[in-house]
Amino acid sequence: MTAADLSGAPDRRVLRGDRAAAVGPLSTPQLRTGAWTRFGGERTLGDPVTEDVLSALAETTRTAARAQGYATGWAEGRREAATEAAAHRAELEAATREAEARRQAEHEQALAALQRAAAQFAQQVSTTLAEVEDHALALAGELTEALVGRELAGAEDPVADVVRRVLAALPQGLPVTVRLAPQVAAHPDLAALAAQGVTVVPDPALEPHDALLETTAEAVDLRVSTAL
C-alpha cells in the first residue's frame, strides 16, 4: 500500500477490521540496547534523550537514597549517643549522690564521736576537779586544824582557854554536862565550871582543845574541827 492509496477517500486512510488486527509492532531491536530502556516494555525505545532522562533520574534517586541513609544513620547515631549520654549522666549523678551521702554519714559519725569524746573529757575533768577541790578543802581543813591546835597547845594556859570557851557557851538555867579530853578534865582549874553547876565528863575521843556541851534541850559542839 502506498501513500497514494491512502490519499483517496476518507474510508481508505484507516485500517479496520482484520487488516488492522494483522498489523504488529515494528521490530526495532537496535533501539532497545540502552542501559535503562532495555528494562522497559516493548514500546520503550532506547533513544539518547530517554537514556539521559532515565540516567539523571537514577542518579537523583541514588543521591536521595544516600542522603536519606546518611540522615537516618546520623539521626540514629544521635539518638544512641543521647541515650548513652543520659545513661552515663544518670550513673554519674547516682554515684555523686551516693558519695555525698557517704561523706555526710562519715561526717556525722565523726562529729558524734568528737561530741562523745568531748563530753567524756568534760565529765572526767569535772570529776577530777571535784576530787581535787575536795582533796584541797580537806587538806586545807587539816592544815588549819593542825595550825589552830598548835596555837592552842602552845598557849600559856590551854585549859583556861577551853574553860573560857565553855563558859561563854553555857546556857542559862539548865543543867549542863561538858565532855573534855581526859587530861583536861582532870585539871584543877576546872573548879570554875563545877561552881557553875557543870558536870565534867572525860571523853578520850576529844583533843585537849575540844569540848562538847550537852543539855536536856541541845548540844553545843566546841571542837576545833567543827568550827573550821
80 has pLDDT over 80: yes
- pLDDT tens-place string over residues 159-201: 777 777 777 777 776 788 888 888 888 887 777 777 777 888 8
With a CB cutoff of 8 Å and minimum separation 6, the contacts of 20 are 14
Q: Is residue 188 within 8 Å of residue 157, measured between CB atoms? A: no
Give CA torsion, residues 145, 147, 149, 154, to 10 deg.
-170
Distance CA 214, CA 200 (A): 10
Length of the chain: 228
Comparing 146 with 216, the larger pLDDT belongs to: 216
- pLDDT tens-place string over residues 139-160: 555 555 554 555 555 555 667 7
105 has pLDDT over 60: yes
- List the chain domain ranges: 158-227
- pLDDT tens-place string over residues 4-45: 444 444 455 566 666 666 655 545 554 455 666 665 555 555
Instruction: Locate 101 and state its grid cell.
Output: 551521702
Q: Is residue 201 within 8 Å of residue 179, measured between CB atoms? A: yes
